[in-house]
Structure 1
Amino acid sequence: MDQTLRDASEQGNLDGLYSSIARDPKVLDKIDEIPFVDTPLHVAAAAGQTQFAMEMMMLKPSFARKLDPNGFTPLLLAMHTNQIQLVLKLLKNHKDLVCAQGRGGMNPLHYAAQTGNLDLLAEILRVYPKSIEDVTSQSETALHVALKNDMLDAFRLLLGWLRRAWFRSARLLEYRMLHWKDLDCNTLLHIAASKNQLQVVRWLLAQGWRTRRYLVKAKNSEGFTALDMVDNQEMRNMLCRARAKHASSLPKVASWADYFISPVTINEKLFVCFFRGKMQMSNDMRNMLLVVSVLLVTIAYQAVLSPPGGFWQDNSIPGTNNQFNITAATSVTNEVNQVPHRVGTVLENRINFLTEQRDSSEKQVS
């Protein structure tokens, strides 16, 4: 990028921008071809030039996700230089920028959790809640980032947001986030215990017995539970009351290698046989079997409730016309008995038709 365009970006000079474009119509395309570069959007974001940044986003949207030589996107660079108003403006008009990851896999939510900017953290969650599922290159969620940087208020905000979420699958998301392990297999409880964050341990143990039961027994990559990493006696007592255990006292969990080497049980054989057959069945076949099953139940039910002539007529007299009633009942019984045969015929014809279609397709492919 030439100095004239850089100066225009720093000063927010739109006339200077369009003068550079008039001199060289491909000036922005040439910058975009470089993998890691300071774009005019980076320069404007770092300088807090909101109007210029918005104009550049319109002219060259691809700049928004481009990384500079230090691994920052324009939005992360604006956060790094504390240009909060520009960040909020960009997020309002371009919500998808929250997903743009920079150095270390950090997105704006991770960075807000790292710096403890609560207002920005809340705004990001409001405009793009799915960003809480993103992880860094170290497999850290925003919750992990907040704890590792001792931003306890940021952690409490994220935890409160998770507990208040009511959209579809919110319960599953809360479960996943609270049980997530980073690259070293450390849970949130491992981090809180190692950093002596007593209040965080109290918050985590209050999340319910399912979460508590898992967290107190989880091991990290070094084989330690949270109780193994505690130095504080009050925290140790708290974990013991939650039935936490040392890793040495927990039963050994069989590895996948041990499982695959072990003999296959009869139950596993039946399970595998069933699902292999199910997986080889086409969608048409599954749908057809479902329809046939429903038809079978419906026909049998209607035949019993509404027989031809009825089991009992309104004008019949008890003790008379017995032959008619017996005949009607017999005809219904015969009709119901014929249902499986009829359905079986339909099913057989349908299977033959699908088989012929499959064979024909295989021949065409070959």
Structure 2
Amino acid sequence: MVARLLEAAQIGDIGYLHKLLTENPFILNNTALFSSENPLHIASIAGHLDFVREILRLKLEFANEINQDGFSPMHMAAARGHIEIVQELMKVDSRLCRLEGKEKKTPLHCAAIKGRAEVVSVMLLCCPNCIEDVTIQGETALHLAVKMNQFQAVNALLDLIRELNREGVLNLKDELGNTILHLAAWKKRRQVIELFLGSRIINSGILEVNAKNNSGLTALDLLLIFPSEAGDTEITEILRGVGPMRAKDISLSPMSSFQSANQNSAFSTPEICQTEQSNLVDYFKFKKGRDSPSEARISPPGGVWEDSYMPDQSNNTKAIIRKAHYAGESILATSGPIAFALFVLFNTIGLSVSLFMIHILTSRFPLQFELQMCIVAMYFTYNTALINMSPDEMKLYVVLVTVILSSLTPIIAKFIRLHAKKIGEFVVDMIHCVI
């Protein structure tokens, strides 16, 4: 019976609903016993306005129910952009847009994530206080819209924030201490940053352009520390036009001297610099629960021999069964040279490209010398380990692959990237010729 009720909600058949109510007048009361969702959930996500109105007339309390996934009917309607259903639910209670679901996300958060600008406008006009609601990560709707690159939602939020005189939310920070400007810079949201400038929010002084997050980094720091291949220069110029600074420059700026007016300046500057450096290092530190732990080890498939063995030349049968090897040599290299050769080739390519990517992505990392030492050490450790665990007959091959090929990997990768289209066309032509 409940399955039939949910089917009626799915297709939005009000006549079928009343037929079921005639057969069992208590069917709406029994829904909670057999399903995690009520008919209002189903009708809201399907967009059946008339069915929603009828359910609200019959069972108003359905509007407040959260399903097992942590969503209310308002969450679902907001995420799908069903503006009329959102308005109908708001008539029941405007506070439904502040109903907390999974990870404390509200319907406004869902609308911002999905970029439903009209829904965002309706909710804020009916309930202005919902703009201050935050998720379990401390993110406002504006944080989420910027993070998900929902430009229309960001635009709608900014317009209403100004109209409702709620500019204070622009400086709210998430659990990592990031403001919306931190996120826009980190995610390279040039359009969003230009929107801030166009709406005069930054120029008005309302938005704190030099706010620091929990790691002591400003928006400009995040932009420069995590560079991308294109667009950074333009964003940097846009930001620099409104006076943002790096954290280290703020610490050395005369404007911050009031914080240490009663301290000797000869000692305060090094102390501040040391604090900033400590915060920056901590930003990249492994944090339990945030980063996935893993074990790093250089070990080929099958492991290595634990003992040395030289077969008796007089016993040819035994020599064929068990091959000569030395302790520390790869078992795979002894039993399957071709498989080991392929492992060395592709594993070396993977490591080389990974180290090359680390070098590119951290090119503006402040502790550049120390990082380069780590990369070089990893490179030589890998090469030394593979060469020493290879049998004598394969050492030359391993040296060529791990030393020469890995050194040429960045050049090869760049060549392939630049000529990927031509290479693809060549491969397709070759396949057609073979076929």
TM-score, length-normalised on structure 2? 0.50
Which residue is 1:222 aligned to?
Answer: 215
Which residue is 2:296 aligned to?
Answer: none
* Offset, 1:241: 4.4
Which residue is 2:303 aligned to?
Answer: none
* Offset, 1:249: 3.6
Distance 1:241 1:8 in 2: 58
Q: 1:7 to 1:157 in 2, by over 3 A?
A: closer
Which residue is 1:9 aligned to?
Answer: 9
- Identical-pair percentage: 33
Distance 1:71 1:112 in 2: 15
Distance 2:153 2:12 in 1: 33
Distance 1:249 1:181 in 2: 22
Distance 1:81 1:187 in 2: 27
* Offset, 1:23: 4.8
Paired residue type of 2:221: D
1:29 correspondence with 2:29? yes
Paired residue type of 2:246: H
The 8 Å contact of residues 178 and 213 in structure 2, kept in 1 or not, is answered as yes
Which residue is 1:107 aligned to?
Answer: 106
Which residue is 1:185 aligned to?
Answer: 177
Alignment of 1:194-213 (within 5 A): 194-204=186-196, 206-207=200-201, 208=203, 210-212=205-207
Paired residue type of 1:130: N
Distance 1:80 1:237 in 2: 36
Paired residue type of 1:144: H
Q: 1:8 to 1:194 in 2, by over 3 A?
A: same
Distance 1:65 1:84 in 2: 18
* Offset, 1:92: 4.5
Structure 1 unaligned blocks of 5 or more: 254-366
Distance 1:227 1:126 in 2: 34
Which residue is 2:148 aligned to?
Answer: 149
The 8 Å contact of residues 187 and 215 in structure 1, kept in 2 or not, is answered as no
Distance 1:47 1:244 in 2: 46
Which residue is 1:161 aligned to?
Answer: 160
* Offset, 1:106: 2.5
Cα-to-partner distance string for 1:233-278 (whole Å, 9 max, x where unaligned): 333344344443322344499xxxxxxxxxxxxxxxxxxxxxxxxx
Q: Secondary structure at the match of 1:215?
A: coil
Alignment of 1:60-139 (within 5 A): 60-92=59-91, 94-139=93-138
Paired residue type of 1:103: K
* Offset, 1:222: 2.5
Q: Secondary structure at the match of 1:185?
A: coil
Distance 1:52 1:114 in 2: 26
* Offset, 1:33: 6.4
Paired residue type of 2:220: L
* Offset, 1:154: 1.8
The 8 Å contact of residues 94 and 127 in structure 2, kept in 1 or not, is answered as yes
* Offset, 1:24: 4.6
TM-score, length-normalised on structure 1? 0.58
RMSD: 2.9
Distance 1:196 1:149 in 2: 12
Structure with greater Cα Rg: 1
1:55 correspondence with 2:49? no
* Offset, 1:39: 0.6
Distance 1:46 1:163 in 2: 31
* Offset, 1:194: 0.8
1:40 correspondence with 2:39? yes
- The count of corresponding residues between Structure 1 and Structure 2 is 243
Comparing 107-116 with 135-144, greater Cα deviation is found at: 107-116
* Offset, 1:71: 2.0
Distance 2:242 2:83 in 1: 42
The 8 Å contact of residues 98 and 130 in structure 2, kept in 1 or not, is answered as yes
Paired residue type of 1:4: R
Structure 2 unaligned blocks of 5 or more: 257-435
Cα-to-partner distance string for 1:266-291 (whole Å, 9 max, x where unaligned): xxxxxxxxxxxxxxxxxxxxxxxxxx
Distance 1:59 1:75 in 2: 17
The 8 Å contact of residues 227 and 244 in structure 1, kept in 2 or not, is answered as yes
Q: 1:225 to 1:81 in 2, by over 3 A?
A: closer
The 8 Å contact of residues 104 and 136 in structure 1, kept in 2 or not, is answered as yes
